[in-house]
Chains A and B, each alone.
Chain A
Amino acid sequence: MLSMGITLTPDDFVRVSKEPGAVIIGFLLCYVLCPALGFGLGKAFNLPLDLIAGLVLVGSINGGQASNLCTYIAKGDVALSVLMTTVTTIAGIFMTPLLCKLILGAVVPVDAVGIAKSCLQVVLAPIVVGMAANKYLPKVVEKVLPVTPVIGVISTCMLVASAVAQCAPAITSAGLNLQLPIMLLHLISGLIGYWIPRWLNFTETQSRTMAIETAMKSSAFGFLLAKLHFKQYGTRVPSAVSVVWMALVGATLAVIWRFIPVQDEKKSS
């Protein structure tokens, strides 16, 4: 979300789309590893059912919008990050309701159709609008561009504050027993999201990108889904805690990697 620093060309996207393997593994990490990890951590910490449902929901949503910024800081592949966010976002229309229904359907009532509709409205429609604006209104985009970082920062602050404020009593009373599993959800998924690609012989740059993409989720979107489509109040609490932890974990991983140089890497395919 920087107005300078990051420049991507169409060729960058052609380059990353030539290697769909990274996107496929990123997809699996996002929609298989994270929900399972959320469920496991919820059980391990003996959380009440509505909080476990909330943790699984955090695991089952698409990659966060800030992941591309963290990828840039971590010296990862920003084009790959954007592509993975786009893929998980589009797939989220059916993956998020499907996972919630499959994992949580027996535990809490899930409005799968409602979730899918929200995904279409809140996440997918803006992507289409954003891309179309570039194609058809380039002059308007040119004028709006310098203001976008400010809008981005304000939006992020308000989303975080609003989500946390609505759950403030629950967050305060749950204490560390809630903070810890959510922090671990992002941290462990980030570490596994790094080591699995490394083990599969992806490059250091690709692995960093996939790790950050896996660790960072659209938690604010998860909060909205929980609020609109889950009847239990408790399901929205983990998302509200996660908005902070996903930013912290993602940024921490990014800063650590920034100081570890990318070795001259050779891809063995």
Chain B
Amino acid sequence: MKGILSSFILLIILCSAKIAYAYVPLHLHQLSIRSNAFATKNVASSSTGRYRNPSSSSSLMMSEIAAVGPKETKKTSKLWDAYLKTTDTLTTLFPLWTVLFAGLALTRPESFAWFSTKYFTASLGIMSAMIYIIYQIPLMPLYKRASIRCIDALHGHHSDS
């Protein structure tokens, strides 16, 4: 058991160092992106031409949005940015927490006995709802637009071809 545990920990230390390294410089560039998806809608639609370009990846688009909206940065305080940066780093290092808590659970399973199936179910529900809250995806308009485009695509009417 100790062998498995230590190999887990070794692997994750290797991973986390890389992730942390990969992430820090990126955050510095993207500090300004903390805005409602709909607030950037105008920016996004004004650069629709770029969006249609199949060679541009989503991360490229994100940095383009960042470049257009630097004014938003000034409003947010430094403390707030620090908070966001910290929570983002914590989130990015999720494999590390996963392994640490798995190791803890293996060695002291009784300390998590209080986390009943009820809590487990609730946590799963929260995780499931989360991405739709974070990306601010509304229900109907998106569905309507997406389904229309889907039908278009199935019939071969690519608007950009």
Chain A interface (Cβ < 8 Å from any Cβ of B):
1-15, 17-20, 65-66, 68-69, 72-73, 75-80, 82, 85, 89, 121-123, 125-135, 141-142, 144-146, 148-153, 155-166, 168-169, 171-172, 175-176, 179, 203, 205, 218, 220-221, 224, 227-228, 243-244, 247-248, 250-252, 255, 258-259, 262, 264-267
- What does DSSP make chain B's interface, helix, strand, loop or mixed? helix
* A221, B124: Cβ atoms closer than 8 Å: yes
Q: Can you report 22 residue pairs joining A to B where beta carbons are below 8 Å apart?
A: A1-B91, A2-B134, A3-B134, A7-B37, A15-B52, A20-B150, A65-B130, A77-B58, A129-B129, A133-B133, A142-B36, A158-B112, A158-B123, A159-B120, A160-B97, A166-B109, A220-B127, A248-B12, A255-B15, A255-B19, A265-B54, A266-B55
* B94, A156: Cβ atoms closer than 8 Å: yes
* A151, B130: Cβ atoms closer than 8 Å: yes
* B139, A135: Cβ atoms closer than 8 Å: yes
* A131, B51: Cβ atoms closer than 8 Å: no
Q: A5-B62, A18-B158 are in contact. List 5 more A-B contacts (CB 8 A).
A: A14-B145, A75-B58, A122-B125, A123-B128, A148-B134
Residue of B nearest to A85 (CB): B131
Give CA–CA (A15, B106) in the complex, Å: 44
* B130, A1: Cβ atoms closer than 8 Å: yes
Q: Residue B6 at the A interface, CB < 8 A?
A: no
Interface residues on B, range: 35 or more
Give residues of chain B (103-156) contacting chain A, Cβ–Cβ below 8 Å.
104-106, 108-113, 115, 117, 119-121, 123-142, 145-147, 149-150, 152-154
